[in-house]
Structure 1
């Protein structure tokens, strides 16, 4: 019945053209108005996660046993440095402009992502069953363990992963459990500031709920010169007693507070958190060109003496890594409104390329880069040690991110070579897993590097840790473990989102298959004790760090998600992969 009048209308050519024109206009309107809304995976996820009641039971919130707001400072801050405000600068686009994927490409991607989701669900269920509200799961013995003050590190750390993966029931249950944590009590006398900041404050800030954990974090700065402590005496902090700053700490410790404290000020509108870290940033900014390697900072610094220049060991790996990671990320988080972070970023990029990166000599002459360490000799000369570690694998992603933010394609390409270097190290070993720490042989010429068997033999002969079964090109696997670390897939994820090149998704899939196979145990994923031998069942360590779900599995999942999910032009991720909204 409805077809007859329709036919009557379109039988007239003039009417037919009018209808076609209307259909085209309506289609264009729909695409322009709604394509970036309902078609976006991030929008669909948000609608789903916010649909229906969060729980059939009201949320039970445990009131903190300490009213941090009533604790008085021994050393009040004085004049407050305000959080940069106003409209953000128009920074360059970070993410590649992706074309629509084909049906076959979408199916492959979705199948891979489903494999990551299933692994996450298995590990989360084991944590829930055997280690609920504990800091970490012991996957072999099916027990829990506390290491970070008994504040349920895995529970808190995993919140945004559960959200991103659309695990609604698990997320709602986890939120209810987090609400019962009393951050006024600690199972340890001293609280590790670095670890608790990136996990707890990072997770709370990503959820835009900084009020839940914000109070204890400001007390780390209750010191004579308002420099942060590394380990906070919890009882002294609760009583407002002035804290004693350690003589020497790793540079990453004070340097990895900036994003979390700045984001807390953005959320609350209270500049005191940003003010607290501004003095630390000023110290690094003023000292950047006064070190033995201008642009870089020594591995160890003294907050007590306000000295960030005197050390003789330089690295981008453990002990220093996230100090550098946060320079470009703070530039993005603040919308480019604080020039110091751009200066710090440019300085370290230039110096790292000059002093820390080397091309390793390899049998297939692969054109990759590895990040090493530099020691300053008594005569003032620098010596590059071709030792690297899994923690250093973040630098490929950071370089590519900084390159995009600063319009430097050279730095994006350097980041790609660094990320390929870590992917190469994964594939070089028979398990498909990269060891925690290893050594290689440096190419004298980065542009022209041919394999020299004799030179490799000479290099390995100087290393007592060399073993005959190691892959050619490697002279040691000093620490042969894989402990579920995220840094390699982190960089692969960034290079995928920044370049749009399919090779990065293939790298991610190869890595995930190796990681999933190597870490598999009855209950959950476990660290591998030796990745250099693939005979029989791999030996495992009875431990699953909170960063496994918080970071490693999240990055794998995002590598196989549509690029609008945690869009890097909208979010910046902290060193524990918690996404913070960028200032606009």
Structure 2
């Protein structure tokens, strides 16, 4: 991949005055800014991007100055202070366990171990409150313990925890047994507690569990799972992971195909009884990447062109229903450019080795990072 912009063109923005009194979210800044800088450094070899990665990484470190080492959600990158949200002392599971790929890579490149030690995901490995590998959605920054126990989802606030278990294991050369153990247990927990099928169409979906009560609700965010399962199977994990990936990929496709616009709702409720179909809950589409992300993985591993066809249908629906000259909502989520369009580009590329999945692991914002032990530049 050849980047069409030179780093010198970006220098004015990087050389702007020092930041002061600016609060940023630790998780979002890590996956977007730190991950993006590290990825660009590897793709260009330009030292500038590593220097800026180290700068933002250092600015984010105050988040880890908590009694439990579970990080706060927000950091003032000018003042060097951090704090939880105004309404709680909890952090979400995804926020604290989906920053490791980036900080581990920063530590490896700079040879400064404190970046990795302070952000290691092992903090939750042995915590009580898990349910057959499934993990509660919130964790307290003071006690370091799970809160809101008994509620389990692979959707918002939890999704990338499961993704990063597998991807850290791959990133590190498949040597960290705790990560693999937690991932395998989680997949079994999903199959045991969250997996159901609809009525006549027999679509397989992943619901939610609240104090042993099943809710047939599936966020679009959960459509990351087919791609993650396929990635695991590609790296030697059990074959039934791929079987499940194929089933869930069909469901995520149907979440688009069965809608009048060809665009998935943000949330779908599935029917467990004889009546077929599913009812959309949040009737809007945010141009999220999860389904096209999984289509990319499925096409890479199976070479079945139907996954390209499904991706093309989604792109056509984006063009028809969301491309506007003057929007009713005057903003666009950054993940549409950073993830959705990137995965579509890779899906349609004829170069199957472009950003090879045997050489790179993608962070949860679609920034490719090298699989170790590739030596740092």
Once residues 391 and 215 of structure 1 are traced to their aligned partners in structure 2, the CA distance between those partners, rounded to angstroms, is 30
RMSD: 2.2
Once residues 119 and 99 of structure 2 are traced to their aligned partners in structure 1, the CA distance between those partners, rounded to angstroms, is 7
Residue 180 of structure 2 corresponds to which residue in structure 1?
342
**SS in structure 1 of the partner of residue 320 of structure 2:** helix
The alpha-carbon deviation at position 210 of structure 1 amounts to 3.4
**SS in structure 1 of the partner of residue 135 of structure 2:** coil
Matched, 1:569 2:358: yes
Once residues 391 and 264 of structure 1 are traced to their aligned partners in structure 2, the CA distance between those partners, rounded to angstroms, is 27
Residue 505 of structure 1 corresponds to which residue in structure 2?
308
Which residues in structure 2 correspond to 1:419-434 (within 5 Å)? 419-434=249-264
Judge conservation of contact 1:436–1:479 (CA < 8 Å) in 2.
yes
1:373 alignment partner, one of 194, 203, 208: 208
Structure having greater relative contact order (Cα 8 Å, sep ≥ 6): 1
**SS in structure 1 of the partner of residue 157 of structure 2:** coil
Residue 249 of structure 1 corresponds to which residue in structure 2?
91
1:542 alignment partner, one of 297, 314, 330: 330
Matched, 1:232 2:75: yes
Judge conservation of contact 1:224–1:242 (CA < 8 Å) in 2.
no
Judge conservation of contact 1:393–1:487 (CA < 8 Å) in 2.
yes
Q: Residues 302 and 516 (structure 1 numbering): CA distance in 2 closer, same or farther, change over 3 Å?
A: same
1:399 alignment partner, one of 222, 229, 248: 229
Residue 270 of structure 1 corresponds to which residue in structure 2?
112
Residue 19 of structure 2 corresponds to which residue in structure 1?
185
Which residues in structure 2 correspond to 1:152-301 (within 5 Å)? 163=3, 168-169=4-5, 175-176=10-11, 178-181=13-16, 184-185=18-19, 188=22, 190-208=23-41, 209-212=49-52, 213-234=56-77, 236-237=79-80, 247-278=89-120, 281-287=121-127, 290-291=128-129, 293-301=131-139
Residue 304 of structure 1 corresponds to which residue in structure 2?
142
- The count of residues paired between Structure 1 and Structure 2 equals 360
Once residues 256 and 174 of structure 1 are traced to their aligned partners in structure 2, the CA distance between those partners, rounded to angstroms, is 31
The alpha-carbon deviation at position 577 of structure 1 amounts to 0.3
**SS in structure 2 of the partner of residue 541 of structure 1:** coil
**SS in structure 1 of the partner of residue 107 of structure 2:** helix
Q: Residues 224 and 305 (structure 1 numbering): CA distance in 2 closer, same or farther, change over 3 Å?
A: closer
| Alignment deviations for residues 60-112 of structure 1 (CA, whole Å, 9 cap, x no partner) | xxxxxxxxxxxxxxxxxxxxxxxxxxxxxxxxxxxxxxxxxxxxxxxxxxxxx
The alpha-carbon deviation at position 255 of structure 1 amounts to 0.9
2:154 alignment partner, one of 316, 337, 340: 316
Residue 37 of structure 1 corresponds to which residue in structure 2?
none
Question: TM-score normalised to the size of structure 1?
Answer: 0.58
Residue 92 of structure 1 corresponds to which residue in structure 2?
none
* Structure 1 residues without counterparts, runs of 5 or longer: 1-44, 50-162, 377-381, 444-451, 457-471, 527-539
1:473 alignment partner, one of 266, 277, 287: 277
The alpha-carbon deviation at position 283 of structure 1 amounts to 2.5
2:269 alignment partner, one of 430, 439, 442: 439
Judge conservation of contact 2:84–2:90 (CA < 8 Å) in 1.
no
The alpha-carbon deviation at position 181 of structure 1 amounts to 4.6
Residue 191 of structure 2 corresponds to which residue in structure 1?
353
**SS in structure 2 of the partner of residue 277 of structure 1:** coil
Judge conservation of contact 2:20–2:78 (CA < 8 Å) in 1.
no
The alpha-carbon deviation at position 582 of structure 1 amounts to 0.7
1:521 alignment partner, one of 317, 324, 337: 324
The alpha-carbon deviation at position 196 of structure 1 amounts to 0.8
Once residues 201 and 285 of structure 1 are traced to their aligned partners in structure 2, the CA distance between those partners, rounded to angstroms, is 25
**SS in structure 1 of the partner of residue 210 of structure 2:** strand
The alpha-carbon deviation at position 221 of structure 1 amounts to 1.2
Once residues 510 and 304 of structure 1 are traced to their aligned partners in structure 2, the CA distance between those partners, rounded to angstroms, is 47
Question: TM-score normalised to the size of structure 2?
Answer: 0.89
Q: Residues 356 and 242 (structure 1 numbering): CA distance in 2 closer, same or farther, change over 3 Å?
A: closer
Which residues in structure 2 correspond to 1:548-563 (within 5 Å)? 548-561=336-349, 562-563=351-352
Judge conservation of contact 2:76–2:82 (CA < 8 Å) in 1.
no
Q: Which moved more, 1:244-253 or 1:197-206?
A: 244-253
Once residues 141 and 305 of structure 2 are traced to their aligned partners in structure 1, the CA distance between those partners, rounded to angstroms, is 44
The alpha-carbon deviation at position 541 of structure 1 amounts to 2.4
